[in-house]
Amino acid sequence: MYVLCFMETKEPDEIWLIQFYAPWCSFCKQLDPVWHKIGSELRSLGSPVRVGKSDATANTALAKEFKVRNYPAILMLKNNVKYNYPGSRTKDGILDFADRVSGPLVRSLSSTRLFQHAINRHDVIVVYVGATSELKGNLTAAAEELIVHTYFFSASREVLPKELTLTSLPAVLLFKDGTHFIYDKEQDGELKSWIKRERFPNVFLIDSYTLYAMGESGNSSTPLTA
């Protein structure tokens, strides 16, 4: 675990998971043991992600550079791009974010077994099917922003279940709640906006972030459970 100012010594290819905190912040104090567990687990897994924390009240210039407004603020810095963590402050949630953002923007699913593993492991995934195309470029561009929320994959048609019907390729599919949705440019509009609207499971535990994110996405009809 590193207490930062890391910018003075950071190498260009390093990936950092950073917590900005304030000494008086009670939520930061609650997160502290979780943060240490996250650092230990990532090290034990051999992850390339380095974990650190910075007192935003002492390192004000660094906090200002990263536009820290609330505490604790969690972000990942990869290839000099900042990714803000938008989820609940839990160990599993933060570890999933670290795995998702530190890896490729669009991951390859090379077998039916890997596809099934992704479906079973994640509530929502987005899958591109087909060869290189303008649509795949649009998906990659969308992933640059939305990777903080969900996983993006690419696969050949043979990897997907045989009962799944695709009338044409290339295609983008979003899997959630045991079913799938196929992107249609004419009906759905911009790809990134469609993913933003559809990425919420139909039923999930609500928290303040989820409520805010749904409002930002324009998705107001998803049933919720407390």
| Rounded average pLDDT over 199-221 | 55
E-strand ranges in 58-105 read 73-78, 81-84
What is the 8-class DSSP label of residue 221?
A: -
More confident residue, 58 or 214: 58
Q: What is the pLDDT of residue 8?
A: 55
Q: What is the pLDDT of residue 133?
A: 95
Q: Where is average pLDDT lowest: 60-74, 86-100, 191-205?
A: 191-205
What is the band of 203 on the pLDDT scale with cuts at 50, 70, 90? low
Residues 49, 25: Cα–Cα separation, whole Å: 25
Residues 128, 135: Cα–Cα separation, whole Å: 9
Angle at 211 between CA 20 and CA 213, to 5 degrees: 65
Q: Which residue has the tokens 């045991």?
A: 178
Q: What is the pLDDT of residue 80?
A: 85
Q: What is the pLDDT of residue 51?
A: 94
Listed residue (143, 117, 113, 116) closest to 128, CA to CA? 143
Q: Which residues contact 183 (CB under 8 A, 6 or more apart)?
A: 171, 172, 173, 174, 191, 194
Q: Which two tokens stand for residue 56?
A: 């935003």
Query: What is the residue-averaged pLDDT of the chain?
Result: 87
Q: Can you give the pTM of this predicted structure?
A: 0.83
Flag whether pLDDT at 10 surpasses 80: no
Q: What is the pLDDT of residue 218?
A: 53
Flag whether pLDDT at 210 surpasses 70: no
Residues 112, 69: Cα–Cα separation, whole Å: 44
* Radius of gyration, alpha carbons of the chain: 19
Flag whether pLDDT at 222 surpasses 50: no
Flag whether pLDDT at 207 surpasses 80: no
| Rounded average pLDDT over 32-55 | 94
Residues 102, 24: Cα–Cα separation, whole Å: 30
What is the band of 201 on the pLDDT scale with cuts at 50, 70, 90? confident
Burial of 191 (0-12, 13-18, 19+ CB in 10 A): middle
Residues 51, 124: Cα–Cα separation, whole Å: 26
| Rounded average pLDDT over 182-193 | 96
Residues 129, 17: Cα–Cα separation, whole Å: 31
Flag whether pLDDT at 212 surpasses 70: no
Residues 175, 183: Cα–Cα separation, whole Å: 11
Q: Which two tokens stand for residue 72?
A: 């604790």
Give catalytic residue positions.
25, 28
Q: Which two tokens stand for residue 135?
A: 């649509």
Q: Where is average pLDDT lowest: 18-27, 68-77, 203-212?
A: 203-212
Angle at 196 between CA 218 and CA 116, to 5 degrees: 140
CA distance readout (Å), 120 to 116, 133, 156, 175: 6, 28, 19, 11
What's the pLDDT tens digit per position in 150-168?
Answer: 999 999 999 999 889 899 9
